[in-house]
C-alpha cells in the first residue's frame, strides 16, 4: 500500500487527462518511437529487466509529458494574463483619448465664448457702451437725488448705494470663472499628454 502511494505521488497521480498521455505512450511503445535517452535510463534503473524497464519508461515518460503539458498550460495562462493586461491597457488608453478629446472640445468652446463675450472688438465695444451708459445713468441719478432731496444725509446714502451699483455694473461677470475653468482644462490636457 505504501509503495502504491509513493508510486502515485512520484508519477503525479492519475487524472482524466492522463488517459491521453498513456495513449500516446502506448503508440510510442507500439511503433518503437520511444525517447531513446529515457528508455536507456529506464533500463539502467531496472537492472536490465525489460518488463521493469518498460514499466519505468511508462512512468518516466508520463511524468515528462505531464511536465510538458503543465508548461504548455502555464504558458497559455501567462499568455491570457498578458492579453488581459494589454486589453486593460488599451481600454485605459481609449478612455484617456476620449477624455482628451472631450477636454479639447470644451477648451475650444470656452475659448470661443471668451472671444465672443469678452475679448473680441465687438465685445469690447459693447462693454464700453455699457460702461458709458451706466456712468451717465449714475451721474444723472446722483445729481437728481442731490438736487431733489431735502435731507442731505439721505441723499448721500442714496448716492453711495447708486455708486456701489455703478461699480458692480462695470464688472465683467463670468470672465474670471471661464478663465479659471480654461486654465484647469489646459492643465489636465497637459497632464494627459496633449498640447494645451
Q: What is the pLDDT of residues 48-104, one digit of tens each?
A: 888 888 889 899 999 999 999 999 999 999 999 999 999 999 999 999 999 999 999
Alpha carbon distance 110, 196 (integer Å): 13
The three-state secondary structure class of 134 is helix
With the CA atoms of 46, 50, 53 and 58 taken in that order, what torsion angle do they form, in degrees rounded to the nearest 10?
Answer: -160
Cα separation of 167 and 165, whole Å? Answer: 5
The domain limits of the chain are 16-102, 120-191
DSSP per position, 155-168: HHHHHHHHHHHHHH
Single pTM value for the model: 0.56
Burial (CB count <10 Å: 0-12, 13-18, 19+), residue 103: buried
Amino acid at each position: 500500500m505504501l509503495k502504491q502511494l509513493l508510486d502515485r505521488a512520484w508519477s503525479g497521480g492519475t487524472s482524466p487527462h492522463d488517459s491521453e498521455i498513456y495513449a500516446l505512450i502506448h503508440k510510442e511503445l507500439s511503433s518503437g518511437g520511444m525517447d531513446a535517452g529515457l528508455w536507456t535510463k529506464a533500463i539502467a534503473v531496472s537492472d536490465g529487466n525489460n518488463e521493469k524497464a518498460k514499466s519505468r519508461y511508462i512512468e518516466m515518460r508520463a511524468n515528462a509529458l505531464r511536465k510538458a503539458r503543465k508548461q504548455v498550460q502555464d504558458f497559455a495562462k501567462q499568455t491570457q494574463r498578458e492579453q488581459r493586461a494589454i486589453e486593460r491597457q488599451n481600454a485605459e488608453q481609449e478612455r484617456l483619448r476620449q477624455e482628451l478629446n472631450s477636454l479639447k472640445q470644451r477648451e475650444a468652446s470656452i475659448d470661443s465664448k471668451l472671444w465672443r463675450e469678452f475679448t473680441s472688438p465687438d465685445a469690447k465695444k459693447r462693454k464700453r457702451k455699457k460702461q458709458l451708459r451706466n456712468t451717465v445713468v449714475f451721474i444723472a441719478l446722483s445729481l437728481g437725488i442731490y438736487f431733489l432731496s431735502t435731507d442731505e444725509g439721505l441723499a448721500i446714502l442714496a448716492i453711495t448705494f447708486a455708486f456701489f451699483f455703478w461699480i458692480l455694473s462695470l464688472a465683467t461677470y463670468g470672465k474670471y470663472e471661464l478663465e479659471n475653468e480654461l486654465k484647469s482644462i489646459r492643465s489636465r490636457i497637459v497632464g494627459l499628454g496633449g498640447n494645451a
